[in-house]
A and B are shown apart, each in its own frame.
Chain A
Amino acid sequence: MTTTENRRSRRTEILEDRPVNLDGFVEEWPEKGLVAMESDFDPQPSVRVEGGRIVELDGRARADFDFMDTFIADHAIDVETAEEVNAIPSVEIARALVDPRASRDELTRIGRGLTPAKILDVVKLMNVVEIMMAMQKMRARRTPANQAHSTSAKDNPIQVAADAAEGALRGFAELETTLGVVRYAPLVAIALQVGGQVGRGGVLTQCALEEATELELGMRGITAYAETISVYGTESVFVDGDDTPWSKAFLASAYASRGIKMRFTSGTGSEVQMGNAEGRSMLYLEIRCILMAKGAGVQGLQNGSISCIGVPGAVPGGIRAVAAENLVASWMDLECASGNDQSFSHSAMRRTARLLPQMLPGTDFVCSGYSAVPNADNMFAGSNLDTEDFDDWNTIQRDLQVDGGLRHVREPEILQVREKAARALQAVFAELDLPRITDEEVEAAVYANGSGDYPERDVLEDLKGAQSVMDRGVTGLDLVKALERSGFHDVAENLLTVLRQRVSGDLLQTSAILTDDFVPLSAINDANDYGGPGSGYRLQGERWEQLKKLRHVTSAEDPETEVS
């Protein structure tokens, strides 16, 4: 062959083989909503109030409102201030968001009256660094935190308990699980709760399931919060999801009425993915979701595209839009669990870049699911980060002196809590007459990485046990008793303290988590007071000393040794 037409340079070949070229990218198509946030087809901001009611919203008269417009106009927007704040030029609001001298309180006051198009108009003026500046100030809770996924490809409860314990010890404030085989849920939810309370007393747990079962596990006190309550930005997609803003608002009250913390879930790209974006940009539709959540009175929102991240990730400026949607959630005074929870890219560099707009300014939960199990075991279809990234994450925290919610923990401590979690679960299963956990399984749990490292469970017996948990009406209180009876007094005490929290309702307030001392920390007693350099949350003191530690650091005193 002598043709040179198809010959490629060696360099092109090398570039062609880079992981980033396995990712998919598409051109924008704004007419159909396949566009991140800059679209000529989004409505212009407008608002008109008559007789105490909003009668025009973003160019649409009340008679033409779809149900999202209606719900937002009647529940989300402050009628008293709407006309006033919407009249402020967008550029002034955008600058105030970035300006440290403008207080968070003033900006949330303005935010309460803005229409979706106006909010979009404001954030469109901001570049990604400005978005991060604003996020630093607008995040509801002063102290940033992180959330983990703790799942098992085999739904193995021992694995979930051990990984929950390790995750809690590494610093995650919330742990979330879900199932391959849904019927396993009661056992895995118990394992998550027991393991979590071994790792660090006060960690909050969740099991993502269909609404009725998720609510039931919550009502029984086997889980502590709920999150997978999806909302969408267009009426047709909302209806396709078999819900309306009113049904979701009712569900929010149902959770609160049982003392259970809850947040909604939404994200850019879901509507266009389902083919019903009604010609609006992804961010405009997501802002409608955020205002819908606000209007429902839910304390928080998981957003940042979530399971549709491949869509904004493929269009120009998409990741900027994702950063902007997290900002808007925070600006609307909601707790924000900011994505970074789904497999995003083949490129490690791109995965990191996608993360920084949340990690650097800090959010209420930087990841709404950092995979604290290997991604192969991640039953949420894989996260942007997994167990292999722990040391990288810790190093980035140390390099840039930012708090991403995690810390390096020495192996002996990790092995110790993993063993204790597996032992505690073994005891709880024995007390509750559930299928036996063998010593061999406990031993495996201590040293395992993924589900393949554990002995096989008798799935049939486990499923019968899971059913009996539901039939017998086992509650969180039964777990406390079982732990206490079997000598795990401290774990029992931790769990009882978490359960007691639902009597006080303190965890229902915005951005609430529990500290190591079981003190609820929310946007009320830990309100973000960022006001420029030297203020707000600063990584210093004891916490900074913690984060200086890595797996391998050469000792200054004796350079022939390492400290860790």
Chain B
Amino acid sequence: MSAPTAASTSERTLTLKEVGPAKRASRPDEVVVAVSPAFSDPFTKTIVDVPHAEVIRQILAGIEEQGVHARVIKVWDTADLAAVAHTGARLSGSGISIGLLSRGTAMIHQRDLPRLSNLELFPQSPLLDAEVFRRIGSNAAQYAKGESPAPVPTRNDQMARPRWQAKAALLHLKEFECIVAGRKPVEVEPVISRA
């Protein structure tokens, strides 16, 4: 069987089209994906160059494959992962959310948890690839269905520190620059197009 077609490797781009203020939904079969202020604009890829288009596409695919509905919101007034994720969880009909920072760091959160807690945390952004994002989406959807998914295995690399610690700090600072204090979260429609 041959390799995938060339089309699949061509770059996709992501636009987050604002549709209005993010509201609390009541449908129990949804997962909210909450992204940080700089996600998709001005940043377009994670710390290890996974395009944001692919991050969102894989997370949404993971959710859809489980037969669960997804809603994407952008959080403007904080770039703290736990706060971003918890904002999403409080708006989510199922109470389950995925928080995402521009550099790729991710977290699955639940409405009733304290803000600083989480269901699953993926702190090592350099180790997150498309496959992991798919599994994060899939697990979040399974939590929403009341199932018990096996946690996505987290990886660890002692040498991530010398390679990525400073870049992560830099991306973090840049993301902070994009915070709009006092601006409420906005519901967005992810538009993914192929170049």
Contacts and interface: CB of A to CB of B under 8 A. Distances in A.
A311 interface: yes
B158 A382 contact: yes
Contact of A344 (B162, B164, B170): B162
A22 B158 contact: no
Interface in B132-189: 158-159, 161-170, 172-173, 176
A23 B158 contact: no
A68 to B, nearest CB: 21
Contacts of A124: none
A26 B161 contact: no
Contact of B162 (A29, A272, A307, A313): A313
A315 B166 contact: yes
10 contacts: A24-B164, A26-B166, A275-B169, A307-B161, A308-B165, A310-B161, A313-B162, A314-B167, A382-B159, A382-B161
A22 B165 CA distance: 12
A275 B172 contact: yes
Contacts of A23: 162-163
Given A314-B167, A375-B158, 16 more contacts: A24-B164, A24-B166, A26-B166, A26-B170, A34-B170, A34-B173, A269-B169, A272-B173, A273-B169, A275-B169, A275-B173, A310-B166, A311-B165, A343-B162, A344-B161, A381-B158
Interface string B99-116: 000000000000000000
A429 to B, nearest CB: 30
Interface in A201-226: none
Interface of A: 22-26, 29, 32, 34, 269, 272-273, 275, 307-311, 313-315, 342-346, 375, 378, 381-382
A25 B166 contact: yes
Interface residues of B, number: 16
A360 B52 CA distance: 47
Contacts of A24: 162-167
A57 B99 CA distance: 41
B166 A314 contact: yes
A315 B158 CA distance: 20
A346 B159 contact: yes
A480 to B, nearest CB: 37
Nearest to A315: B166
Contacts of B166: 24-26, 34, 310-311, 313-315
Interface of B: 79, 158-159, 161-170, 172-173, 176
Contacts of B79: 275
A346 B169 contact: no
A547 B127 CA distance: 43
Contacts, number: 74
B158 A26 contact: no
A310 B158 contact: no
A342 B169 contact: no
Given A343-B158, A375-B158, A32 B165 contact: no
Contacts of A345: 162
B162 A310 contact: yes
Given A29-B173, A32-B173, A272-B173, A381 B167 contact: no
A345 B163 CA distance: 8
B159 A343 contact: yes
Contacts of A22: 159, 162-163
Nearest to B177: A32
Contacts of A308: 165
B165 A314 contact: yes
A29 B169 CA distance: 11
Contacts of B173: 29, 32, 34, 272, 275
Nearest to B166: A314
Contacts of A309: 161-162, 165
A29 B159 contact: no
B86 to A, nearest CB: 16
A100 B11 CA distance: 64
B165 A273 contact: yes
Contacts of A29: 170, 173
A346 B161 CA distance: 10
For the complex of A and B, the 10 pairs showing the least CB-CB separation, nearest first, are: A310-B165, A314-B166, A382-B158, A310-B161, A32-B173, A26-B166, A24-B163, A343-B158, A23-B162, A273-B169
A381 B162 CA distance: 12
Nearest to B163: A24
Contacts of B168: 273
Contacts of A32: 173
Max count, chain A CB within 10 A of own CB: residue among B164, B168, B172, B173: B173
Nearest to A31: B173
Nearest to B47: A24
A391 B193 CA distance: 57
Contacts of B164: 24, 310
Contacts of A310: 161-166
B161 A342 contact: yes
A378 B165 CA distance: 19
Nearest to B80: A275
A272 B169 contact: yes
Contacts of B163: 22-24, 310, 346
B32 to A, nearest CB: 24
A470 B165 CA distance: 38
Max count, chain B CB within 10 A of own CB: residue among A24, A311, A343, A344: A24
A442 B118 CA distance: 41
B44 to A, nearest CB: 19
A381 B79 CA distance: 26
A29 B172 CA distance: 12
A247 to B, nearest CB: 18
A260 to B, nearest CB: 30
B184 to A, nearest CB: 22
